[in-house]
Amino acid sequence: MDAVRLVEVGPRDGLQNEPQALPVEVRVELIARLVDAGLRTLEAGAFVSPRWVPQMQGSDEVIRQLETHPGVTYTALVPNLQGLERALAVGCREVAVFAAASEAFSQRNINCSIAESMARFEPLLAKAKEEGVAVRGYVSCVLGCPFSSEVPRADVVKVARDLYAMGCYEISLGDTVGLGTPGKTRELIRACAAEVPVAALAGHFHDTYGMAVANVMAALEEGVRTFDSSVSGLGGCPYLPGATGNVATEELVYLFDGLGMSTGVNLPALLQAGAFVDAALSRLSASRVAIALRNKAQRSLRPND
Instruction: In whole angstroms, give the CA distance from residue 196 to residue 261.
Output: 24
Residue 277 near residue 23, CB atoms below 8 Å: no
Tens of pLDDT, residues 70-91 = 999 999 999 999 999 999 999 9
Instruction: In whole angstroms, give the CA distance from residue 154 to residue 156.
Output: 5
Whole-model pTM? 0.92
Tens of pLDDT, residues 111-139 = 889 999 999 999 999 999 999 999 999 99
User: Confidence band (pLDDT; 50, 70, 90) for 298?
Assistant: very low
Active-site residue set: 237
> What CATH number is given for 5-301 in this structure?
3.20.20.70
Nearest CA-CA partner of 172 in 180, 184, 164, 183: 164
* Structure confidence at residue 149 (pLDDT): 78
